[in-house]
Amino acid sequence: MTPGRERGLAALLCAAGAGLVLLAAGRTWAAVEAEDAITPFSQTLTGGDLGGASGALGWAGLAGLAAIFAAGGRVRAGVGVLIALFGAGIVYASAAAVQRSNVLSAAGDKSALLKLGADPAVDVNLWWTVSVAGGVLLVAAGAVTAVRGARWPAMSARYERATPRKPAAEADAGPAGVGPADDDPSAMWKSLDRGEDPTAQKNGRP
């Protein structure tokens, strides 16, 4: 696989991983029901309600996507290490967020009625695993970038174009010289002001 394709694969993994994490963060991860409370109630909690750390790390991973293209050499390899760490943090934070104690604590912060329930029931769905999957993709993207990223071409080098420079003699040519100055209307008017015939100069007549 060419370096350009390796970079594209890492960018795709990073974008997909961060996208899954951010998508999951806004979905319902758990529901709490307190049927034995004085006032029975149920409450749903999103990934953001259960901590929000995974969502914040997802945004950081998305920022790393731009750095994959903008950075180069060892800096890009360092970015890969950071992306991998972001992914590992997402996996840990997502798994910790759906623990019963954390779910009940988050639900209690949103409603005091939970404390009146004898034994509230906690139901966790699979959206947290989507966040974990996104974290795993970020780890993979970061690992590929850390190991191979130093060899990838920088984005600026791909689009860089050399600008030809004019020779010093040509740049300094006056109104009577040979070069771009001959076609300059202002130079022609200056010659007329001095009493010179610019057409005679072009044809080699004194």
The pLDDT value recorded for residue 143 is 93
Residue 78 near residue 85, CB atoms below 8 Å:
no
Give me the helix-helix angle, 73-97 and 53-70, nearest 10°.
Answer: 160
Higher per-residue pLDDT: 24 or 203: 24
Q: In order of start, what are the domains of the chain with their CATH numbers?
A: 3-158 (1.20.140), 175-202 (no CATH)
* Cα 9 from Cα 145, distance rounded (Å): 10
* Cα 87 from Cα 85, distance rounded (Å): 5
pLDDT tens digit string along 115-147?
A: 655 678 889 999 999 999 999 999 999 999 998
* Whole-prediction pTM: 0.69
* Cα 41 from Cα 60, distance rounded (Å): 36
The answer to whether residue 169 scores a pLDDT higher than 60 is no
The pLDDT value recorded for residue 203 is 52
DSSP per-residue codes, the chain? --HHHHHHHHHHHHHHHHHHHHHHHTSEEEEEEETTSSS-EEEEEETTTTTSHHHHHHHHHHHHHHHHHH--HHHHHHHHHHHHHHHHHHHHHHHHHTSHHHHHHHHHHH-GGGGG-SS-EEEE-SHHHHHHHHHHHHHHHHHHHHHHGGGSPPHHHHH--PPPPPPHHHHT--TTSSSGGGG-HHHHHHHHHTT--HHHHHTT--
